[in-house]
Amino acid sequence: MYDLRCTIFKKSVAVAILSVVLSSCGSDPVSQKQKIDPANFKQALEKVNKYEVEKESDEINQYIAHHNWNMLKTGTGLHYIIVEKGKGGQVKSGDFVKVNYKISLLDGTECYSSEKDGAKEFKAEGDDVESGLHEAVLLLHIGDKAKFILPSYRANGLQGDNDKIPPLSSIIVDLEVLDSK
């Protein structure tokens, strides 16, 4: 699925760029040396991006329906469900959070987990982790266990993580908040 999405995305970008280039060409050699109109280029890229986001959203919705999960969705596109309620206080911006986690792709491939790599600690809305994780922990209390689906633009984006998470990949994150200070 990843290879197909990458290929389609690359072809979409290539078509958008080619259409802008061709529409800017004229019979006059001087016009061929002119720069590509940034407004047309920006519109073409926005169109491709909108298509990719809608396609990814459809894939996430199908995945959720297949698993029969009753997930909530934030305004940023983060899907989540609280699996087990904790008894501690709510995580706040700036807190140092310690979590157990498992990160996998929609196809079930496990990428990272605290079982293999140990619990993760980071500053909520402060450290260099996926923006979707910052949003996720702020929805939780100490002791909560939750499942999140982060679309690629809230996870590792166009590049992936250059290791186990491919470009343009939605990820599933199982989180348990162990501590927050």
Burial class (CB in 10 A: 0-12, 13-18, 19+), 78: buried
Q: Is-above-0.85 flag for pTM?
A: no
pLDDT 10s digits, 68-108: 999 999 999 999 999 999 999 999 999 999 999 999 999 99
130 — pLDDT class (breaks 50, 70, 90): confident
Encode 4-13: b = buried (16+ Cβ within 10 Å), e = exposed: ebbeebeebe
Q: Quick check: 52 pLDDT over 70?
A: yes
42 — pLDDT class (breaks 50, 70, 90): confident
Mean pLDDT taken over the chain: 84
Handedness of CA 93, 95, 96, 100 (dihedral sign): negative
